[in-house]
Chains A and B, each alone.
Chain A
Amino acid sequence: MSGENTPKTETTTSTSNDVFRRIVSGSGMVSLLAVVLSMILGGVLIALTNDRVEETASYFFTRPTDMLGAAWDAASSAYIALFQGAVFNWDAKSTAQMFRPFTETLTVATPLILAGLGVALAFRAGLFNIGAQGQIILGATFAGWVGFTLDLPVGLHLLVAIVAGFIGGALWAGIAGVLKARTGAHEVIVTIMLNYIAINLVAYLLFTPAFQNPGSANPISPPIKDSAVFPLLLGSGFRLHLGFLIAVAATLAIWWLLNRSTIGFELRAVGANPNAARTAGISVSKGYIVVMLIAGGLAGLAGVAQISGTERVLTGGIAASFGFDAITVALLGRSHPWGVFFAGLLFGAFRAGGVQMQTQTGTPIDIVLVVQSLIVLFIAAPPLVKAVFRIDVKKKRATSPTALTGGAA
């Protein structure tokens, strides 16, 4: 019913290409509507679980406005708190404090952007890198060890830590890349498994003398030395650190790599049509390895941002859930470097604001996860969003000609 221009029954290209095509080809409108729709649904969830709403619901039929008002209050106050916690807090005492939330957003967005770039880059080469979590952990572990063990001059120490973090993440992702290239092992499974191995590995390391803080019985490392800490950008009143500028630089670098370099040309070719790439003399297996090394390195930098930027000690929870959030960031950003950057900012804002929301209105921060995942689901299926908003509802299903047969076929 869909492939009217080709009598071929099977699309021989890998499915990841189709996804990728879908992610890239969807319109900005759909993204915006997906965000709106997800926030509405999140608001409904907030309202449904609100005390006042529950109370007023008992007499809904005598005075429905009470309940609707309560629902609106619950959702809107939560979102206002979220906004105040993420962008601008007009209730703060000083001007600096008013803008503080935005710097928090940038701080939280830093690892999200870096790891998101790693996931996105792999997507562009046709690989699903589900392993950012493990790569962040390894990056943080490498950088952390450099940070609290070595004694190096100011400047050099931080630089070595950054490089070490990159290498740590790159090695970890490289395992998946090499196995994919040499044995065909599916990178999704390998990276998922490597996540859990990384979690256990760091848990083990934190009990060894090389990593455990002397005198502590807990799995926690010594604090990293000041020379390996990212300088704060706005003074001690704000957490925003140099790592954010690295994220900006990384975004630029990856944009250049993908769109302006021969390596990027190769990677995109491998991702879009491995057969044509092979015929053009591009090594597909080398492409897989290279892209995983760089992708892992980026996630490793996210680990550096964590340990040298905000956490300053290595713990088992160093990666928080950034590795998984990075996947949603990459998807929302449609695997374009600047798309990832802004998606990272958005989800960073959700996270930063979510904390404020939780303390101010008691709305659990988990709502951020809900909204985030809904956004990605809706973006992945544009026809669904279009159907909800009654735009452009065609009889035809998700399969726009480019999405399926796509040039890649």
Chain B
Amino acid sequence: MSAATVQPQQETVADHVGVKNWKAPVGFAIGALVSLLMFAIGSPDQTAIFRISADDDRFRLQDVHLPAPTVGWVVTIVLAAIAVYAFLQVRKGSHISRWAGIAFALFFVTGFLTWVVGSANTPSISLAGLVAGSVTLAVPLIFGSMSGVLCERSGVVNIAIEGQLLSGAFAAAVAGSISGSAFVGLLAAAVAGMLVSVVLAAFSIQYLVNQIIVGVVLNVLVSGVTGFLASTLLSRDPELWNNPPRLPDISIPLLSDIPIIGPILFKQSVVGYLMYFAVIAIYVGLYYTKWGLRVRAVGEHPQAADTVGINVNRMRFWNVVAGGGVAGLGGAFFTLVAVSSFTPDMTAGQGYIALAALIFGRWNPIGAFFAALLFGFATNLQYVLSIVGTSVPSQFLAMLPYLVTILAVAGLVGKSRAPAAGGVPYVKE
């Protein structure tokens, strides 16, 4: 049965044989070892320079200079210390502080950046550009992972994020092009995402087909249909069908001049602002509203929800549809913001990274948001580093999101706890 029946506390015996979990210390230790080998022993003999401000900024901040060997060793020592702390805590049977994980991540990233920039031919990068580019690259990921949050929190596994993004991109291009209005394109994108979702919901909720299968197959279907139409209709008359207007960036005066965070928060396209809105709305909705309470209940313990009179399957259906709409908007980013035409399979697996961000962010909208940012950062770092000429192969950076996701699901990086009823269709007696 459910986990609701927790055993009586007073009967607990002194030695918890099965309760000790060594995953966290092991994970930390591996990280510290990587740091020792790469950032410390393998450190380049250069100083990494991080430029905070561009030359034409209204406010200017000092550049940050970090000598790679020193930083490498300091980081390694700190990481090792955290690993030891975690080890001792687990041996004592105590709880590992959340801050240990956060501190570990911060130091690791610092060590990594210093190492990677220090190894470059010109060891100097613009932090502002790096961060702003990361956010831009993360926009579709964030939309996609929000779709995942909506679906999976209600108990439906959504592998079809990729298809939802792609259908959104396609619909935005076509509708935007025909109507000449980017906003019509945006609306069409949401509708297209919802359509994909309706199929997902119908098959998984009505016909009880396994949600993973439906998701995978839907991705193929959307790729096929959009690819087919792109090479027929769209390529026959691209002016008419595949020439959507771009959504310009809208700068908010003054605020957009704040170093680093200005461009991120206040110099975005409509889609970018919508993204922030979506994250906040979903977060607030999920944790502070009646709707959110019911969604989470349905995803955790549908039977309990049913016994208090909540229609589990209806709730799931509409959540999946809403999720499709959100992902569709994210798809519009590809054709209305990034470039202004649709090309087949242009989402290139971003839906799967969004899925990874969802899991890495522990099914929490804010967590998924930051996870997607991290993945966007990893992608952007590839581009930036290829410009400054680093010895680190860009492919390894590209692998990073996938690697950390594997570590996350294996429980080596934090504990990701999926909604308890995820993927399980609810059948009433």
A–B touch (CB < 8 A): the answer is yes
Neighbour of A185 across the interface among B208, B224, B349, B411, CB < 8 A: B411
Instruction: Tell which of B203, B220, B356, B429 touches A3, judged by Cβ atoms closer than 8 Å.
Output: B429
Contact A373–B213 (Cβ < 8 Å) = no
Residue of B nearest to A374 (CB): B221
B405 within 8 A of A: yes
**Pick the contact of B425 from A15, A16, A363, A383 — CB < 8 Å?**
A15
Which residue of B223, B410, B429 has the most chain A CB atoms within 10 A of its CB atom?
Answer: B410
| B76-96 Cβ-contact flags toward A at 8 Å (1 or 0) | 000000000000000000000
Q: Using Cβ atoms and an 8 Å threshold, which residues of chain B touch A366?
A: 223-225, 227-228, 231, 344
Contacts of A11 in B (CB 8 A): 427
Q: How far, in angstroms, from A186 to B419 measured CA to CA in the complex? A: 13
Partner of A364, one of B208, B217, B227, B402: B227
Task: Confirm or deny: B42 has a beta carbon within 8 angstroms of a beta carbon on chain A.
Answer: no
Q: Provided the pairs A183-B23, A201-B395 are in contact, do residues A15 and B210 lie with their beta carbons within 8 angstroms?
A: yes
A188 within 8 A of B: yes
Measured between C-beta atoms, what is the minimum distance from B238 to chain A in Å? 14
- A397 neighbours in B (Cβ, 8 Å): 206-208
B-contact 0/1 string along A180-200, CB 8 Å cutoff: 000111101110111011001
Binding site for B on A (CB under 8 A): 1-3, 7, 9-11, 15-16, 18-19, 22, 45, 49, 51, 128, 130, 179, 183-186, 188-190, 192-194, 196-197, 200-201, 203-204, 207, 324, 327-328, 331, 363-364, 366-374, 376-377, 380-381, 383-384, 397-399, 403-404
Q: Are B224 and A367 in contact (CB under 8 A)?
A: yes
Taking a contact as CB atoms under 8 Å apart, the answer to whether A383 and B207 are in contact is yes
Contact call A193/B402, Cβ cutoff below 8 A: yes
Which residues, 182 to 230 on B, are CB-close (under 8 Å) to A? Answer: 199, 203, 206-214, 216-218, 220-221, 223-225, 227-229
Q: In the bound complex, do residue B228 and residue A190 qualify as a contact, i.e. CB atoms below 8 Å apart? A: no
For residue B115, give the distance in angstroms from its CB to the closest CB of chain A: 18
Cβ contact within 8 Å between A190 and B427: no
- CA A95 to CA B13, docked complex, whole Å: 82
Structural contact, B403 and A370, CB atoms closer than 8 A? no
* Contacts A/B (CB < 8 Å), 10 sampled: A7-B429, A9-B429, A10-B303, A193-B406, A201-B399, A369-B220, A369-B223, A377-B214, A399-B208, A404-B208
Q: Are B406 and A190 in contact (CB under 8 A)?
A: yes
Specify which chain A residues have a CB less than 8 angstroms from the CB of B423 in the assembled complex.
15
> How far is it, in angstroms, between the C-alpha of A179 and the C-alpha of B225 when the chains are bound?
35
List A contacts of B377 (CB < 8 A).
none
Q: CA A197 – CA B398 in complex, angstroms?
A: 8
Evaluate contact between B233 and A183: CB separation under 8 angstroms: no
CB of B406 within 8 A of CB of A185, answer yes
Which of the listed residues B23, B212, B344 has the most CB atoms from chain A within 10 Å of its own CB?
Answer: B212
Least CB distance from A404 to B in Å reads 7
The reply to whether B203 and A380 form a contact with Cβ atoms under 8 Å apart is: yes
| Residue in B217, B218, B233, B356 with the greatest tally of chain A CB atoms within 10 Å | B217
**In the complex the two chains form, what is the Cα distance from A369 to B199 in whole Å?**
17
A269 to B387, CA, bound (A): 54
A186 vs B355: C-alpha distance when bound (angstroms): 13
Shortest C-beta distance, A346 to chain B (Å), equals: 15
Tell yes or no: B1 within 8 A of A by CB. yes
B224, A373: Cβ atoms closer than 8 Å: yes
Contact, CB under 8 Å: B221 / A373 = yes
For residue B228, which residue of chain A has the nearest CB?
Answer: A366
Knowing A49-B232, A179-B406, A372-B224 touch, does A380 contact B214 (C-beta < 8 A)? Answer: yes
Interface members, chain B 292-335 (any A CB < 8 Å) = 303
Given contacts A9-B303, A201-B395, A368-B224, contact A128 B229 (CB under 8 A): no
Q: Nearest chain-A residue to B358 (Cβ)? A: A189
Q: Which residues of A contact B352 (CB under 8 A)?
A: 192-193, 196
B291 at the interface (CB under 8 A from A): no
CB distance from A53 to the nearest CB of B (A): 11
**Contact B224 A189, beta carbon cutoff 8 Å:** no
Assess whether B428 is interfacial by the CB under 8 Å rule: yes
Cα of A183 to Cα of B356 in the assembled complex, Å: 18
A9 shortest CB reach to chain B, Å: 6
| B424 contacts chain A at the CB level, 8 A cutoff | yes
| Residues of chain A lying within 8 A (CB to CB) of residue B1 | 10
What distance in Å separates the Cβ of B242 from its nearest Cβ neighbour in chain A?
A: 14
CA distance A183 to B403 in the complex (A): 16
B206: chain A residues within 8 A (beta carbon) = 397-398
Instruction: Confirm or deny: B125 has a beta carbon within 8 angstroms of a beta carbon on chain A.
Output: no
- Could you tell me the distance between the alpha carbons of A1 and B428 in the complex, rounded to whole angstroms? 7
- Determine the main DSSP class of B at the interface with A: helix
Please indicate which of the listed interface residues A204, A367, A373 has the most CB atoms of chain B within 10 Å of its own CB: A373
**Chain B residues within 8 Å of A7, by CB:** 429
| Chain B 396-429 per-residue mask, 1 if CB under 8 angstroms from chain A, else 0 | 1011001101100111100000000001110111
A185-B411, A189-B359, A380-B203 given; A196·B402 CB < 8 A: yes
Chain B: CB-nearest residue to A123: B213
| Given A9-B429, A377-B203, A189:B213 Cβ within 8 A | no
Shortest CB distance A352–B (Å): 17
Which residues of the partner chain A approach B203 to less than 8 Å between Cβ atoms? Answer: 377, 380-381
| Inter-subunit contact A197/B399 (CB<8 Å) | yes
Q: Say which residue of A49, A186, A380 sits within 8 Å of B209 (CB atoms).
A: A380
Across the interface, do B209 and A370 meet the contact criterion of CB distance under 8 Å? no
> Which B residues lie within 8 Å of A200 (CB)?
395-396, 398-399
CA–CA, A2 and B426, complex, Å = 12
> A331 contacts B213, CB within 8 Å?
yes
The CA of A128 and the CA of B398, in the complex, are separated in Å by 25
Contact residues in B for A185 (Cβ distance below 8 Å): 406, 409-411
Evaluate contact between B159 and A381: CB separation under 8 angstroms.
no
Enumerate chain A residues within 8 angstroms of B396, measured Cβ to Cβ: 200, 204
Known: A197-B402, A369-B228. 6 other contacts (CB 8 A): A45-B225, A188-B212, A189-B409, A192-B352, A193-B406, A364-B228
Which single member of A1, A51, A363, A372 contacts B429 (CB below 8 Å)?
Answer: A1
Quick check: B406 and A16 within 8 Å, CB to CB?
Answer: no
Closest Cβ of chain A: how far from B387's Cβ, in Å? Answer: 17
A370→B230 CA distance, assembly (Å): 13
Most buried by B among A49, A189, A363, A398: A189
Q: Which of A45, A130, A403, A404 contacts B228 (CB 8 A)?
A: A45
A16 nearest in chain B by CB position? B210
A31 to B227, CA, bound (A): 26
- Which residue of A201, A367, A373, A383 is within 8 Å of B217 (Cβ)? A373
* Residues of chain B contacted by A204 (CB below 8 angstroms): 393, 395-396
CB distance from B295 to the nearest CB of A (A): 20
Q: Which residues of chain A come closer than 8 Å to B233, judged between CB atoms?
A: 49
Expressed in whole angstroms, the Cα–Cα distance for A7 and B393 within the complex equals 58
Q: Contact between A207 and B393 (Cβ–Cβ < 8 Å)?
A: yes
* Contacts A201-B395, A367-B228 given; does A373 touch B209 at CB 8 Å: no
CB pair A377–B217 under 8 Å, yes or no, is yes
Taking CB atoms, residues of chain A closer than 8 Å to B207 are 380-381, 383-384, 397-398
In the complex, the answer to whether B224 meets A186 with C-beta atoms within 8 Å is no
A403: B residues at CB distance < 8 A: 208
B-chain residues with CB within 8 Å of residue A196 when the two chains form the complex: 349, 352-353, 398-399, 402
Q: Considering the chains assembled together, what is the distance between the CA atoms of A15 and B155 in angstroms?
A: 13
Q: Is the CB of B232 within 8 A of A364?
A: yes
Given contacts A192-B352, A372-B224, contact A2 B427 (CB under 8 A): yes
- A404: chain B residues at CB < 8 Å are 208, 427
Question: A10-B1, A179-B410 are known contacts. Are A19 and B213 too (CB-CB below 8 A)?
Answer: yes
| Complex interface: chain A residues within 8 A of B224 (CB) | 366-373
Which chain B residues lie closer than 8 Å to A197 at the CB level?
399, 402-403
